[in-house]
Amino acid sequence: MADRQNGAQSPEQQVRALYEEAESNTANAFEALVNKPSFGQLLALSAENTAALTRMAFDGVDLLWRNLRLAGRADIVRLSRQLNRTEDKLERVLQEVEKLRDEVTGERGSGARERDREGAAS
The confidence band for 2, taking pLDDT boundaries of 50, 70 and 90, is very low
**Is the pTM above the cut of 0.85?**
no
Q: Are 58 and 65 in contact (CB under 8 A)?
A: no
The confidence band for 122, taking pLDDT boundaries of 50, 70 and 90, is low
Q: Are 9 and 17 in contact (CB under 8 A)?
A: yes
The confidence band for 5, taking pLDDT boundaries of 50, 70 and 90, is low
Residue from 81, 64, 80 nearest 72 by CA? 64
The confidence band for 112, taking pLDDT boundaries of 50, 70 and 90, is low
Q: What is the mean pLDDT of residues 32-51?
A: 90
- Residues 18 and 24: their CA atoms lie apart, in Å, by 10
The confidence band for 106, taking pLDDT boundaries of 50, 70 and 90, is confident
Maximal CA-CA distance, the chain: 143
Residue from 95, 71, 69 nearest 83 by CA? 71
Q: What does the buried/exposed string (b/e) look like for 32-53 if buried means 16 or more CB atoms within 10 Å of the residue's CB?
A: eeeeeeeeeeeeeeeeeeeeee
- Residues 62 and 56: their CA atoms lie apart, in Å, by 10
Q: What is the pLDDT of residues 52-95, one digit of tens each?
A: 999 999 999 988 888 888 777 888 999 999 999 999 999 999 99
